[in-house]
Amino acid sequence: RLNPSYHISVLQSIPLVKGQHWFGRMLFAACPAYWTVNPFPKSVLCVIMQRINVQEEKNGMEELLGKYQAWLGKRLTPKDVSSQLSRIKRIAKHYDILNEYALDRCASLLDMLNYTAYDRKQGNEPQADIVIQGDYYTGFASLKRALKYFVHFLDSIHYKAPPKKTHPSFCGDFDDFKRFVGPKCRNEVNIFCKSERQSHHKICEYCGKEAELQSAHIVDRPIIMHDILEKEYKRGEDYYEVDLLDFLEHFKQAHMPIKDHIFFLCKACHDALDKSGKLTVDDIKAKRGY
């Protein structure tokens, strides 16, 4: 019987292309008695199954992209078809688009690709982990449009797939948690507040002007995050072990009902509340009639 490291080196030297994922299954089907007496190393089994899953996912995406190209060909010029495909492939190098669609029709991913004129003016870094050569505002706008178009395609073919079962976790102090998970929390607030924000029809709750509304916390977001960690995940002095999916559910529930935790303000009023201190929570509550 060969040792595990040899098994792994042999397997890794075999390129898996479409159809060759049968190799892993045949190892067990061909000699079941041998593998019962001489169990196949778990480490090698993980390598096989991981490569099978990755290859099958890749094949599934490639098949969909082929259909997408044909779908685009009926609607766009050949040049535009090429550009759309290129942008989707670029996003797919960094994010699992199909799983994002299964989770929330890519709402979280679309929000990550958002880079506004205000972000450009302030010199803010983008949220997404995609390198843009040149202007962030133009680059991310084109990627976002391409992803919206791809979502429209997936809707049109009634694409269905269960979201992957993942168990992401975090271990560390609050500063690191805020650094790595904070941007995700900000995105989540924008998503679960969307319907409530739209119900205000672009009218700021304080000044009454028409504007693109922002979600302003009554209690600062980091304070909410820290309170949840202290209550649910504390394992030592400023040390937390966090099931991130579980945390996000706690985080969402901590904002319910939304009207008791969020104001919908124009940018000027939001800045006056959070940055300059010219506006207080009580000022806005008084305007609301509380």
- The two beta strands, 239-243 and 234-236, are antiparallel
**Do 185 and 238 reside in the same domain of the chain?**
yes
Is residue 71 a part of any domain in this protein? no
What pLDDT, on a 0 to 100 scale, did the predictor assign at position 273?
A: 92
Query: How does residue 281 score in pLDDT terms, banded at 50, 70 and 90?
Result: very high
Which of the listed residues 118, 141, 166 is the one where a domain comes to its end?
166
**Do 192 and 277 reside in the same domain of the chain?**
yes
**Do 7 and 20 reside in the same domain of the chain?**
yes
Is residue 16 a part of any domain in this protein? yes
Cα 42 from chain centroid (whole Å)? 31
Give yes or no for residue 203 having a pLDDT over 90.
yes
Is residue 62 a part of any domain in this protein? no
**Cβ neighbours of residue 92 closer than 8 Å, sequence gap 6 or more:** 61
Average model confidence (pLDDT) across the chain: 82
Q: Say which residue, 27 or 144, is predicted with more confidence.
A: 144
Strands (E), 56-172: 169-172
**Do 174 and 269 reside in the same domain of the chain?**
yes
**Do 161 and 214 reside in the same domain of the chain?**
no
Which of the listed residues 166, 183, 211 is the one where a domain comes to its end?
166
**Do 261 and 198 reside in the same domain of the chain?**
yes
- Interval 90-109: pLDDT, tens: 999 999 999 999 988 999 89
Give yes or no for residue 247 having a pLDDT over 70.
yes
Is residue 113 a part of any domain in this protein? yes
**Do 45 and 84 reside in the same domain of the chain?**
no
Is residue 30 a part of any domain in this protein? yes
Q: Say which residue, 8 or 134, is predicted with more confidence.
A: 134
**Do 103 and 157 reside in the same domain of the chain?**
yes
264 burial (CB, 10 Å; 0-12 / 13-18 / 19+) is buried
Is residue 67 a part of any domain in this protein? no
CA distance 50 to 171: 25
**Do 45 and 88 reside in the same domain of the chain?**
no
- The one-letter amino acid code at 144 reads K
- Interval 112-121: pLDDT, tens: 899 988 888 8
Is residue 127 a part of any domain in this protein? yes
**Do 180 and 257 reside in the same domain of the chain?**
yes
- Interval 153-174: pLDDT, tens: 999 999 998 888 777 899 999 9
- Cβ pair 233, 169 in contact under 8 A: no
- Interval 19-46: pLDDT, tens: 444 444 444 444 444 444 444 444 444 4
Give yes or no for residue 131 having a pLDDT over 70.
yes
Q: Provide the 10 A C-beta neighbour count for residue 224.
A: 19
Sign of CA dihedral 272, 278, 280, 282: negative
Number of compact structural domains in the chain: 3
Strands (E), the chain: 169-172, 214-217, 234-236, 239-243, 262-265
**Do 184 and 259 reside in the same domain of the chain?**
yes
Average pLDDT over residues 139-166: 93
CA dihedral 267, 272, 276, 280 (to 10 degrees): -150
Residue ranges making up the domain that contains 106: 76-166
What is residue 197's three-state secondary structure? helix
In the DSSP assignment, the letter for residue 260 is G
Query: How does residue 58 score in pLDDT terms, banded at 50, 70 and 90?
Result: low
**Residue in this structure with the two tokens 């102090």, named with its chain if needed:** 173
What pLDDT, on a 0 to 100 scale, did the predictor assign at position 34?
A: 45
**Do 134 and 200 reside in the same domain of the chain?**
no
Q: Say which residue, 155 or 186, is predicted with more confidence.
A: 155
Average pLDDT over residues 59-72: 91
CA distance 186 to 154: 26
Q: Provide the 10 A C-beta neighbour count for residue 55.
A: 17
Is residue 65 a part of any domain in this protein? no
Q: The tokens of 158 are what?
A: 């009634």
Lowest mean pLDDT among 12-26, 168-182, 210-224: 12-26
Give yes or no for residue 143 having a pLDDT over 90.
yes
